[in-house]
Amino acid sequence: QVQLQESGPGLVKPSQTLSLTCTVSGGSISSGSYYWTWIRQPAGKGLDWIGRISTDGRTDYKPSLKSRVTLSVDTSKNQFFLELSSVTAADTAVYYCARDNVYCTGGSCYPRWFDPWGQGTLVTVSS
Amino acid sequence: DIVMTQSPDSLSVSLGERATINCESSQSLLYRPNNKNYLAWYQQKTGQPPKLLINWASTRESGVPDRFSGSGSGTHFTLTISSLQAEDVAVYYCQQYYTVPVTFGQGTRLEIK
């Protein structure tokens, strides 16, 4: 079965760029119709959808983060990536990657539920 | 964005009793052409990622115990645990997938009384 694993620095300085990798194992990232998603969770708080990417590079971002977020994918490595620029303490959170089981029709792909999820990685923004 | 609001924020229920969690959306999640509600429920235990329990508001995922059930339509939804077990202690989230950006409720913490 497909598994996801996040990796990247656990500490990022304010104003710098947070960069994370999600590695997909147990299957090809290009297999089936899926979008690959990033979701974050500040300590003790709820889940915050950041954005999603298809294997051909189509993206959707949360509007309030759109100016700072870049998602990319490398199908040859079975990985997708998150970059979040100009970070502040408010970006401190556990970051999850997950698979969006989208439904595609007429050239558009509509979101569905998230399964599976990675275990999450804590990123702290601090000097 | 569609705002998802859960109630209560926290809940204490005795073992074997019923637990009920509510979720309200700021707009209807019912898609009339297929008569489906675009809502999922997740369970998150401490230190773990969320686990998908239910999609389409009432369809249990494979392997999810049948004490978990989802109901509701339009803008009001409910997750019910019919007989609370110790392993059900967790935070529960609803999620709408009617449109991007996908949004979640703030979560309901379920504890044993």
**DSSP one-letter code for B61:** P
pLDDT digits (tens, 9 = 90+) for B42-100: 999 999 999 999 999 999 999 999 999 999 999 999 999 999 999 999 999 999 999 99
How distant, in Å, are the alpha carbons of B1, B10, B47, B72, B83 from that of B94? 15, 14, 19, 12, 20
Q: How far is B40 from chain A (nearest CA, A)?
A: 6
The answer to whether B6 contacts chain A (CB < 8 Å) is: no
Q: Please report residues of A whose CB lies closer than 8 A to that of B50.
A: 47, 96, 114, 117
Q: Residue A33: is its pLDDT beyond 90?
A: no
Distance, CA of A17 to CA of A86 (rounded, Å): 6
Residue A103: the pLDDT is 86
Confirm if B52 and A115 have CB atoms less than 8 A apart. Answer: yes
In the structure, what pLDDT confidence band is assigned to residue A27 with cuts at 50, 70 and 90?
very high
The answer to whether A5 contacts chain B (CB < 8 Å) is: no
Q: Give strand pairing partners of A125.
A: A12
- Which one of A47, A111, A117 has the shortest CB-CB distance to B97? A111
